[in-house]
Amino acid sequence: MTPRRTSLPGPDFLDGQFLVAMPGMADERFARSVIYVCAHSADGAMGIIVNKAATDISMPDLLVQLDVAPETDAIRLRERVGHMPVLMGGPVEGRRGFVLHTDDFHIQQSTLIIDDGICLTATVEILRAIASGEGPASAVLALGYAGWQAGQLESEIMANGWLNCPADPELIFNTDLDAKYERALRANGIDPAMLSMTAGRA
């Protein structure tokens, strides 16, 4: 079944785009963050930080802790999903898991298609599929998310807190988290060393 789509993006909505933190970002929790925007409407916005690792947890350990897979499968899990990072997706609902993944995997009534072949699923069923080797071709698990109330994200962009730019699916799933910030800037023709406090959009 075709997954449900998030609210259709209007001319000023940023579904499926990156937000890249600018030097003027006032909130330290988002310094040097790259966020994939999953939903944006007049009511607010929700996104996942894709370049910050959750502390002291690996994907195999998490699957065992959640009883998705038995501890006896730990070696097999390390081989299958040990490369998959667990992200610190944002400060909201930090114990809740969200999986960004390619559109080759859908769960009826649970998977949201966002844009450009990227989907979001937040149910334990996708973790079971990943653990058994039947999940999507590419995926990242994030704990928590970033959220904005109505008008808040727009105000932060106007205040030069964020640069919004097209998202690169390859960058979302790349496991080199430390390189994502500069790569996101360079992909939009911005030299990180030359970044200033000046407002602008790619």
> Residues 177-183: contacts with CB within 8 Å, 24+ apart?
177/51, 177/52, 177/53, 177/85, 177/87, 178/51, 180/34, 180/50, 180/51, 181/20, 181/21, 181/32, 181/33, 181/34, 181/51
Angle among Cα 157, 175, 130 to the nearest 5 degrees reads: 105
User: Does residue 168 carry a pLDDT above 60?
Assistant: yes
Domains with residue ranges and CATH for the chain: 17-184 (3.40.1740.10)
Condensed to tens digits (0 to 9), the pLDDT of residues 128-157 reads: 999 888 899 999 999 999 999 999 999 999
Higher pLDDT residue, 99 or 9? 99
pTM of the model: 0.86
Bridge partners of 102, per DSSP, are 118
Residue 6 is given by DSSP the state P
